[in-house]
Structure 1
Amino acid sequence: MPEHRDLILREFARQADAFEDDRINASFTRYLGRLIDFVAPTATDVCLDVACGTGLVARALAGEVRHVTALDMTPEMLATGKASADAEGATNVVFQEGDATRLPFLAGSFSLVVTRFSLHQVSDPSAVVAELLRVCRPGGRVVIADLVRKPDLPGDPDRVERLRDPSHGTMQTVEEIRGLLPAVQAADVFDVPRPLSIWLEQSRTPAEVAGQIEEELRRELSGGPATGMRPMVVEDALWFTQTWAHLRSAGC
């Protein structure tokens, strides 16, 4: 059985190109402005984007802050992101390989620390959040943006997420994430409807597994067991619904 870290490296190495493909990464980019507004960056901020993927958040922050370090443990993600940053002329972004549970920085190194879509991937979210807080300067901000689980939702969305991407861990509830932070200054929680076919293509899910997921969602629409994915049909296409949350903690 592969270690969870190995699963993450394998799956995201395969997905690196998809993160920069405008045809299939629309869900990541459509709400990116909403996240940046929520982060409220300033021109003096020195930022860290943890588990950055291809650095979509880091590159969006680059024009608003003094400097951004984009950290991820998947070399293919970093290489893809750096190529895009270079093409965009972003000269204040540095890409660095590293583990979110052991950040290679001294305490208090950054005034703004951001992570997007990382907690549901890792085996120990509390260890990641502890590191985010450790490297944040006194008076700085930590922002966590992630998929979240609604506690009263029937079905098991994590099971379906793992079918689609075996590196998926466990989604937290908003309250569970709040419990990892010293003080939550602001929160933004919203539902995100997504087309199933694009979601499966983005993760390079094998056809047999993709077919199983589609069958389960269609069965739910016909009165079958709840999957937790909240499926719907939009213009004859199968969609599902995720809940995303942005939380900002003040006073690291």
Structure 2
Amino acid sequence: MRPSGRLPGALRTLSIDTNFSKHAEGSALIRMGNTEVLVTASIESKVPPFLRGKGEGWVTAEYGMLPRATHTRGDREAARGKQSGRTQEIQRLIGRAMRAVVDRKAMGEMSIVIDCDVLNADGGTRCAAISGAWVALHLALRHAMNKNILGSMPLTDQVAAVSCGIFKDTAVLDLDYDEDSNAGADANFVLTGSGGLVEVQGTAEGAPFSEAQLLDLLRLAREGTAQIFAAQKKAVGIG
């Protein structure tokens, strides 16, 4: 039995509330169980220096956790004067995930900055951030279309992420903190709506896991992201 009482292939309760931030062009508050992430997407009429004059847009991301998002208070990274390696890795992952489903030529020379702030952490924060970021990005791009900044939607697909792991020798979907901290293996899958793999991060915490177990985790990830894709579509009013 999982600590939460869920079946192996069950997601935590998922909700996505849009337009949570008053000023951002796109925003979403995503809740996966007790994990809550506020995501905003901000449009900037400039691109990084390496893209100037190329007629391409850019999507990047920043990620952070509030000091009491976890069981004990963590220092603000700004107070420490530098970001942790974990933070840098996650925000690069979020940016890659968004760029995988955007036609940057169709954007023209604009940038969208995705800010992901973890309000409450109970496992799977990077996955929730990615799934919520797609919603915020979609809303920001729609805003640009409504303002006649863009003539068409540059998004080419959906993207979402979910964690899976081996807990008590069983493949399970969407690990919470209790499972993640005791898993024999854990993995994060970033998938597109059309079935493509953007990124797979998998680690054995003890004994190695098998190829068959990896395929079990991928199967669960596809089932889980199918539900997330449906929630994303509902949040932005498509499909």
Structure 2 length normalisation: TM-score?
0.31
Name the structure with the higher helix share: 1
Structure 1 length normalisation: TM-score?
0.30
